[in-house]
Structure 1
Amino acid sequence: MKKLFFIFFCIPNLFFSQSSMRLPDILGDHMLLQKDSEVNFWGWANPRSKIRIIADWNTDTIQTSASNMAKWETLLKTPKAGGPYTIQVLSEDESISIKNVMIGELWICSGQSNMEFSVNNGVIDAEAAMPDSENADIRFFFIEKATAAFPQDELTGHWEVCSPESMRKFSSVGYFFGRKLNEELNTPIGLINSNWGGTPVETWMPKDAIENVNKIQAEVEFLNDSEGWPRDIASTYNAMIHPITKMGIAGAIWYQGESNTPNANTYAELFTTMIKGWRLKFQNDFPFYYVQIAPFQGYGVPFSAALVREQQQKASSLEKTGMVVISDLVDDPDDIHPRYKKEVGNRLANRALAETYGQESTKYKFATLREQKIEKILSFLISYKHDYVVPLVSVYGRSGSGKSSVTRFVCENINDASY
């Protein structure tokens, strides 16, 4: 028994005997850390080795030790927005230097293909934005696509400074969101790109969160019947979100829902459960802003996209969430990927500027139906919240004969309208 104990006790030292000190990819050159916070800072080193962290904005040296399992973690106090800085991580015989570090506002950009959609995919007006995209105050973190059956400690990714080259391959919605925040707040912005086209919301949910959702068995059957994209529950969360849950963040933006049209009637419950699950894992009640999916005629289930949009609006009742509407930003209703991304990013930024950063002068709310009532045959009243003049309203309905013909009423530039 003593010999067995000796062997197991020595295993960590065998694994970490050579050049063992390292950091997760999210903590690397060109990174951005959340300002005015105590952020987690962690890595791996030889078991029981002493670790020192020196940030050149701080006069104090932070000290900690690696555990018997070679992991170490501590808190690093960040200053107000600024940079660039250098952070040194030292053990008894090794050192790592993290260069060109900025301090500012860090946001996650997640979802499926419309969030993933980059300038390289063909974004309207993107080329006009290229000259302004050389900006050292905006930092991108690219996460490689991966799935996992269980929550992971690490992922593969890297930081890049915003440039015409890096901007072309980053989420266009994310870039324009970050650029507007940077312009309006005069603060460095970090953007974490964690998205995968074709993924339903279930893959982005922590497993322990989704187990509490009603009708979960039906969801499992729906996911297992789909092929071609990640479909296992929690699989993208485990590999692409969980490894960064130690990071201090300002908030998240989200563009997803198209892959949940087959089970649209449960989307609000699933989506809000995901948001609450993320907040619990990050230990941060951060703001969460998202995009209502655009009109698209190619879904297999009739009216399923409208049901998802209705469910998305219902989800906005969750505290510190907000939705932006983009039904007017569709260049081709037969394309599931509208190419107007600058406006989408700007609308998300306007919402964040108003609700997170207190810029109340920002006009960001969309027209919301306040009331509709039938006053007589073929006559009804529609009115809208927020005192908006709605540029165009289309109302569709079947003819009284019960045939499939459609009657359409159109009225332009309205606030309260009668038909």
Structure 2
Amino acid sequence: MKKHLFKNVIVVLTLFISAFNTINAAVVLPSFFTDNMVLQQKSAVPFWGESDGKSVTITTSWDKKNYTEKVVNGKWKVVLKTPIYGGPYSITINDGSIKTLNNILIGEVWLCSGQSNMEMPLDGWGKIDHYKEEIANANYPQIRLLQAEHIESTLPLHTLKVQHDGWNVCSPETVADFSATAYFFARKIYKEKKIPIGLIHSSWGGTLIEAWTSSGALTTIHDFDAEIQAMKSELDQEALLKKYNADMADWEMKLRGSDKGFETGKIIWATPNFDDSSWKTMSLPAYFENKGLPNFDGVVWFRKKVNIAANNTDFTLSYLADDDDMIWVNGNYIGETKGYNVERHYTIPAKFLKKGENIITIRVFDGAGNGGVYGDENFSLKSSKETVLLNGDWKYTIGADLKDLPAKPYLAQGQNRPSAIYNAMIAPLTDYKIKGVIWYQGESNAERAYQYQKLFPLLINDWRTQFKDKNLPFFFVQLANYRQQKQEPGDSDWAELREAQFKTLKVYNTGMAVTTDIGNGEDIHPKNKQDVGARLANIALAKVYNTKIDYSGPLYKACVIKANVVTLDFDFNENIKARDDRLKGFSIAGSDQKFYWAEAKIVNGKVEVYSQEVPNPVAVRYNWADNPIGNLTNGSGLPASSFRTDDWKGITQEKK
């Protein structure tokens, strides 16, 4: 009896150990190999994972083929042969235990990346045009969505962090927080070709192009050597930070010294008896770029007289400012806050107030982009007994203009460190077979637009190297129109960034969607993403899917100068015309480099430009502005890209 019992125990233990080993052998897959995924059609597709078993066998339902591979150091990898598009299919992985991925489609996989205009979702903070109807109608089970999380890393990672447990079927329930541009891109291609589309969305608002580029590629241009080295060494990182702090302290001293609101270190524009009668008037809350200071970066001072009924209690004041602010009441310093996205909460002690008239002074520093006092239209001074509205007219004047100062020191931090986002949000994907890339980025690099001329082609060629596809299609969005329109021709960093994007078309198998006709001067995130996605899709349909379709407006090619007329020639010039009325957006200059608005007319498929102000022209520019007004198009109805015929030094050429 004891011997029989002993044998039973041995059998139970053996079964337990066997079961334990089977559990241990359970395969682990990367986050992007899940149910509902799309694999690239007609390709050799890498497929990999981890296991504690000795070998794995992969079975694909589309061809019933088995792939067996040994597990080496806990890892395995096979290459699957995919057929022409179709599905749904399944993949079974057996390493002692069985795992099956279901509802897989074979189709076209596109990587969608960039900053906030690519990230902008249909709903949420985006709320694109007609978002409720678009979401309700997003029933496209043949379109699949994979959303990457925002992650940055000092070193390349092997694992991509994703949302929603991996791939999702496109539906009203899954599309709302997905990239609107990417969705409309896929929808257009699917409607035209009926091919399943997989979208891998990996973007991050407010990010720089160098953060999306591998350190190996960046080291070839040497613009970011110190930052890259600091990511490898704590000592170098400390040295870089120390130098930045010293440079920043020196720069802030220069800013303070140039600020007319201070005199020999003393504040003069916040004193109650200061005469601000010569100051202009601006309605707040607002961005001052939209209220008479287009493209201004620097210091603006605001003053407002307010009346309070009693001064026996403290008041509070809350608002948003971009970037940094300081505040005084009746000449008394109240506080300061740094950061464009930080809500200000100030307490004004009763001892600083008086019954009747009081003077509030706010000094705002803006380093780039929008600046001003913004937020709730009804921002106000509040106490337990009284509310005093502050919205409306304020007196204002410029304290300092950054154009008169050396460039502000910059320290790349967090996700904007060179290669930091590439390491975490692109590197883990480079073995995933994709068809191509769509890209919408550049706003954050506009201050260094000239440098973008080498950074953008560098990124494209870097990704092609990393994805092991030297011909990888790469289609991108040129920056939309933004900021206040100028009355006269002038410099523009956004125009210089668009020029860098236009020049990148020289890189093989690229395409550019021009969007200067569908932006919003007061919103850096225009809500018409339907046309953006469709224009990208048209490029892909023409260049990748051999569809006969218009995909580009006129692109400048060459010019000839005779007497006082400059004749411009274009690619994509079939039925070249003005969208409405007469041609607009052209300016012309002589050797003095002073530009004047020009007359322009179409003659034999070319554009002739001239002006009585410039008898001996040397250069022509078109749509050379942040928010241009040009209307040149062709038979497609698509806008012409901005351009210039000169190579004169721009305002960003010295910035790195």
> Given the two structures, how large is their TM-score scaled by the length of structure 2?
0.56
Q: Does 1:149 find its partner at 2:151? A: no
Q: Does 1:279 find its partner at 2:464? A: yes
Q: Does 1:395 find its partner at 2:604? A: no
Q: Does 1:123 find its partner at 2:133? A: no
Q: Does 1:294 find its partner at 2:484? A: no
Q: 1:400, CA displacement in angstroms?
A: 12
Greater shift in the superposed pair: 213-222 or 303-312: 213-222
Report 1:24-39 matches (<5 A): 24-39=30-45
Q: Does 1:86 find its partner at 2:274? A: no
The match for 1:114 is: 117
Which of 535, 541, 558 is equivalent to 1:347? Answer: 535
Q: Distance in 2 between matches of 1:171 and 1:336?
A: 16
Tell me, yes or no, if the aligned pair for 2:122 and 2:135 is still in contact at 8 Å: no
- Would the alpha carbon gap of residues 226 and 73 (structure 1) be closer, same or farther in structure 2, given more than 3 Å must change? same
The match for 2:51 is: 45
Q: 1:411, CA displacement in angstroms?
A: 5.6
The match for 1:245 is: 430
Tell me, yes or no, if the aligned pair for 2:25 and 2:95 is still in contact at 8 Å: no
Q: Distance in 2 between matches of 1:223 and 1:347?
A: 37
Which of 312, 321, 326 is equivalent to 2:510? Answer: 321
Q: Distance in 2 between matches of 1:410 and 1:83?
A: 57
1:105-150 CA-partner distances (Å, limit 9, x unpaired) = 0000000001001111121244443343111100000111100111
- SS of residue in 2 equivalent to 1:61: strand
Tell me how large the CA RMSD over aligned residues is.
2.9
Tell me, yes or no, if the aligned pair for 1:146 and 1:239 is still in contact at 8 Å: yes
Q: Distance in 1 between matches of 2:129 and 2:74?
A: 49
Tell me, yes or no, if the aligned pair for 2:224 and 2:418 is still in contact at 8 Å: no
Q: 1:398, CA displacement in angstroms?
A: 8.0
Which of 482, 494, 513 is equivalent to 1:305? Answer: 494
The code of the aligned residue for 1:160 comes to N
Larger Rg: 2
Q: 1:18, CA displacement in angstroms?
A: 3.2
- Would the alpha carbon gap of residues 265 and 217 (structure 1) be closer, same or farther in structure 2, given more than 3 Å must change? farther
The match for 1:133 is: 138
Q: Does 1:105 find its partner at 2:111? A: no
Greater shift in the superposed pair: 147-156 or 220-229: 220-229
Q: Distance in 2 between matches of 1:109 and 1:90?
A: 32
1:196-237 CA-partner distances (Å, limit 9, x unpaired) = 001111001111111102544598789982578621111111
The code of the aligned residue for 1:395 comes to F
Q: Distance in 2 between matches of 1:27 and 1:390?
A: 49
The code of the aligned residue for 1:132 comes to N
Structure 1: runs of 5+ lacking an equivalent: 1-15
The code of the aligned residue for 2:477 comes to V
Number of aligned positions between the proteins: 396
The code of the aligned residue for 2:120 comes to F
- Would the alpha carbon gap of residues 192 and 242 (structure 1) be closer, same or farther in structure 2, given more than 3 Å must change? same
- SS of residue in 2 equivalent to 1:87: strand
Q: 1:264, CA displacement in angstroms?
A: 1.1
The match for 1:265 is: 450
Q: 1:280, CA displacement in angstroms?
A: 1.0
**Percent identity among equivalent residues?**
33
Greater shift in the superposed pair: 218-227 or 195-204: 218-227
The match for 2:236 is: none
- Would the alpha carbon gap of residues 281 and 390 (structure 1) be closer, same or farther in structure 2, given more than 3 Å must change? same
Greater shift in the superposed pair: 264-273 or 35-44: 264-273
Structure with more of its chain in helix, by fraction: 1
Structure 2: runs of 5+ lacking an equivalent: 1-21, 229-243, 245-406, 485-489, 611-656
Q: 1:21, CA displacement in angstroms?
A: 1.9
- Would the alpha carbon gap of residues 136 and 412 (structure 1) be closer, same or farther in structure 2, given more than 3 Å must change? farther
Q: Does 1:367 find its partner at 2:554? A: yes
Q: Does 1:385 find its partner at 2:571? A: yes
Q: Distance in 1 between matches of 2:132 and 2:479?
A: 25
Q: 1:370, CA displacement in angstroms?
A: 3.2
1:299-344 CA-partner distances (Å, limit 9, x unpaired) = xx951111111111111111111111111111x2122112111111
Q: 1:409, CA displacement in angstroms?
A: 4.2
- SS of residue in 1 equivalent to 2:415: coil
- SS of residue in 2 equivalent to 1:114: helix
The match for 1:336 is: 524
- Would the alpha carbon gap of residues 400 and 74 (structure 1) be closer, same or farther in structure 2, given more than 3 Å must change? closer
- SS of residue in 1 equivalent to 2:200: strand
Q: 1:356, CA displacement in angstroms?
A: 1.0
Tell me, yes or no, if the aligned pair for 1:203 and 1:231 is still in contact at 8 Å: yes
The match for 2:208 is: 200
The code of the aligned residue for 2:82 comes to T
